[in-house]
Structures are given as structure tokens and as C-alpha cells.
Structure 1
Amino acid sequence: MQSKNPFLDEFAKLSTSAMSLAQAAGDEAKAAFRAQGDRFVADMDLIRRDEFEAMKEVMLAEIAALKLEIQSLKSKAE
């Protein structure tokens, strides 16, 4: 048998509201910390990992081309 207790109903509603408010505050705090972290990284002039990997590939290709050019010049000199 179930009875309706207005006090418990209100307490349940209040608890639900408090939990959703706490979750929203947590999400807002995460967003604020992430923004502050991004700002910190931007101020330090750091690059992202994907940018580093792309630049690394370009540099390796240029090094390989220069090695071929050196080999070519050495063979012409001989």
C-alpha cells in the first residue's frame, strides 16, 4: 500500500533539482577549466600533437630529398 506524503514528495523534487543544478555547475566548471587550459597553452605557444606529426612528416620528406641531392652531388664529384 502506497501513501502520498507531501513532505517526501517535496523532498524528492528538491533533491532532483539540486542534483541537476550540481550537474550543470560541474559541466560549467569543466568548460571553464578547459578554456583556461586552452588559453594557457596558447600563451605558451605550444603546438598540438596533430600539428607536430604533420610537420614531422614534412621535415622527414625534406630530409630524404636532401639526402638524395647529396648523393647525386657526391656521384657527380667522383
Structure 2
Amino acid sequence: MQSENRFFDDLAKLINGAAGTIAGAGREFETTAREKAREWVGGLDMVSREEFDAVKAMAATAREEVEVLKARLDALEAQAPSAAAVKKPRKAPEA
């Protein structure tokens, strides 16, 4: 009986050691993969979130300004006489 218990104890230690080694290798792989991903993304020409948000806000402001200017232009065009009704002055014949 004593030898059977020792066999199972040794087997349990071996399995626990293998599981620890596999878990450590998994953690090391994950860390290495994260570092490689950071290096790869860092090498790309990407903007930060703050820069993106700033440009997005500026674009929204520009769109609003364009809408205001379009409305002003429409109002001015409505007030001006139509182009067909306006007679263009004739040029003097060239000699």
C-alpha cells in the first residue's frame, strides 16, 4: 500500500509541476505578444484619441459654419434680382 501512495504522490507532483510550467509559458507568451503588438502599433502613423477628438470637434464646427453661410447665401440670392432679368451692358465695338 505504501508504494502505491508514493506513486500517486509523485504523479501528482509531476502533473502540478507540468501545469505550473505550462501556465508560466502561457503568461510569458501573452506578455511577449502584447509587447510585439505595442511595437507594431507604435510603428504605425496613428493619431492619439485626443487628437482625433479635437479634429472631430473642429469638423463639426466647420459644418455648422458652412450651413450658416449657405443660409446667408440663399437669403442673398432670394433678395437679388434674377440673373436673367439683369441686362448686361454691351461692350463698345472694337475698331
Q: Deviations over 1:30-75 (max 9, x none)?
A: 1111111111011012347xx3873574254123223234225415
Unmatched runs of 5 consecutive residues or more in structure 2? 78-95
**TM-score normalized by the length of structure 2:** 0.57
Instruction: Output the CA distance in 1 between the equivalents of 2:71 and 2:33.
Output: 54
The percentage of counterpart residues that share the same residue type is: 21
Q: 1:31 to 1:7 in 2, by over 3 A?
A: same
| Whole-angstrom distance in 1 between the partners of 2:45 and 2:38 | 11
In the superposition, the TM-score normalised over structure 1's length comes to 0.66
What root-mean-square deviation, in Å, do the aligned CA atoms of Structure 1 and Structure 2 show?
Answer: 3.1
Structure 1 segments (4+ residues) deviating >4 Å: none
- Which residue pairs with 1:68 in the alignment? 67
Count of paired positions: 75
From the two aligned structures, give the one with the greater helix fraction: 1
